[in-house]
Structure 1
Amino acid sequence: MRLILLGPPGAGKGTQAAFLVDNYKIKQLSTGDMLRAAVAAESEVGLKVKGVLERGELVSDELIVSLIADRIEQDDCANGFILDGFPRTIAQADALGELLNSKSMGLDAVVQLAVDEGKLLERIEKRARESAEVRSDDNAEALKKRLAVYREQTAPLIEYYGERGMLKTVDGMQAVDKVASDIEAILKAV
């Protein structure tokens, strides 16, 4: 099973990915985690990434795709993977498609968690008020900025994958178990 979960920050992608990892024995691949691991391992790609990060630049799509290409070849991805944080743009989606084609692989599904952004803001504000452990970016202002970036860069992927007949949409505002059940139904059909 190879899939992408799409949705804005706070939509529940991480929560749903955890269920899928357990149910399908697949690996969740976070580009941020992969970048940190490559730097720590001082691999060829890691040394390039380290230089980019030290200069305060963004890691190029080419480097990210190279990391993903190496990572999906590892044994723990034999059953498949969930891409987390990638692709974020149309260019990255194109590069991912080329990479998977070159490895005779394809995506089984692209699942969008559709949510109401206003409700997300209410949710984050409530969590900030009620929780003792709050992430530094777990506040309304940070979420508004992250949502704006998502709408500009990542939301176009909904149309991109929709035009290719790969997009399946789940109401992400439902209870966590219902969202998981709806995703499960989609994956059983592919």
Structure 2
Amino acid sequence: MRIVLVGPPGAGKGTQAAYLAKNLAIPHISTGDLFRANISQGTPLGREAKSYMDAGNLVPDSVTIAMAEDRMEQPDAANGFLLDGFPRNLGQAKALDEYLKDHSLKLDAVLDLEVPEDEVVKRIAGRRICRNDSSHVFHAEYNKPETEGVCDVCGGELYQRDDDREETVRKRLEVYHTETEPIIDYYKAQGLVVDIPAMGKVDEVTTRAMAALPSRDA
């Protein structure tokens, strides 16, 4: 099973990707993990990506595509994979199509996690992170600490990251609409897109996504 997962920031792609990949016994391939792995291992692609990042520049699509292709060729991806964060734009989507065609492979589905924009803003802008340990995450509405501004786990100060501020979130959404949403229409033309309502509990969304996938025997 070869799947692309798309959706706006705050839709829960990372969480859903991990659950779906486990249920389907395929690797979860995320752009963030690819960059971290290549940079930490000092691969040629990692060094190239780091040179752009250190200079404050965007990493070119060619580097991202090469990292993704290298990962898809690893033995654990022989029977499928779930792509999260790639492709991010039309150029990357077309490159993925070429790669799959060259290897006599095809995508089985593109899962589009649908969340209303106001809910995206609420989810992200409400996050509060512990200054002592960033793994301690709370939410101003959905997961309130017992004492406002104080981490339940260690007593550290809770704060809002700059990336989580409403104005930043709305800018990220603009980028998503401009760069990533066009790939949904691209894949719709191929009959691959399945809309997944992503409101509700995590396991409920996972159940919807699993039910929407084509049969592996098809």
Return the TM-score normalized by structure 1: 0.90
Farther off after superposition, 11-20 or 174-183: 174-183
* CA offsets 1:4-43 (integer angstroms, 9 cap, x no match): 1111000111121111122112111122221222222222
> Structure 1, unaligned stretches of length 5 or more?
none
Which residue in the other structure is 1:7 paired with?
Answer: 7
Which residue in the other structure is 1:120 paired with?
Answer: 120
Which residue in the other structure is 1:167 paired with?
Answer: 193
* CA offsets 1:93-137 (integer angstroms, 9 cap, x no match): 101111111122211110001111112222334444236466722
Distance across 2 between alignment mates of 1:48 and 1:123? 34
Closer, same or farther: CA 135–25 of 1 in aligned 2, 3 Å: farther
Matched, 1:150 2:179: no
Q: Is the 8 A contact 2:3 2:108 kept in 1?
A: yes
> What is the Cα-based RMSD across aligned positions, in Å?
2.0
Closer, same or farther: CA 135–168 of 1 in aligned 2, 3 Å: farther
2:22 is matched by which residue type in structure 1? Answer: D
Q: Is the 8 A contact 2:108 2:214 kept in 1?
A: no
Task: Report 1:91-106 matches (<5 A).
Answer: 91-106=91-106
Aligned residues between the structures: 190
Q: Is the 8 A contact 2:88 2:180 kept in 1?
A: yes
Q: Is the 8 A contact 2:194 2:212 kept in 1?
A: yes
Distance across 2 between alignment mates of 1:69 and 1:172? 28
For 1:189, what is the secondary structure of its paired residue? coil
Which residue in the other structure is 2:90 paired with?
Answer: 90
Q: Is the 8 A contact 2:17 2:28 kept in 1?
A: yes
1:184 is matched by which residue type in structure 2? Answer: M
For 2:213, what is the secondary structure of its paired residue? helix
Structure showing greater relative contact order (alpha-carbon pairs closer than 8 Å, 6 or more residues apart): 1
Which residue in the other structure is 1:81 paired with?
Answer: 81
Distance across 2 between alignment mates of 1:134 and 1:151? 28
For 2:164, what is the secondary structure of its paired residue? coil
> Structure 2, unaligned stretches of length 5 or more?
129-139, 146-150, 152-157
2:60 is matched by which residue type in structure 1? Answer: S
Which residue in the other structure is 2:135 paired with?
Answer: none
Matched, 1:109 2:109: yes
Distance across 2 between alignment mates of 1:174 and 1:70? 35
If each structure's helix is expressed as a fraction of its own residues, which one has the higher value? 1
* Higher-Rg member (1/2): 2
Distance across 2 between alignment mates of 1:142 and 1:115? 18
Q: Is the 8 A contact 1:161 1:167 kept in 2?
A: yes
Return the TM-score normalized by structure 2: 0.79
Q: Is the 8 A contact 1:65 1:99 kept in 2?
A: no
**Identical counterparts, % of pairs:** 43
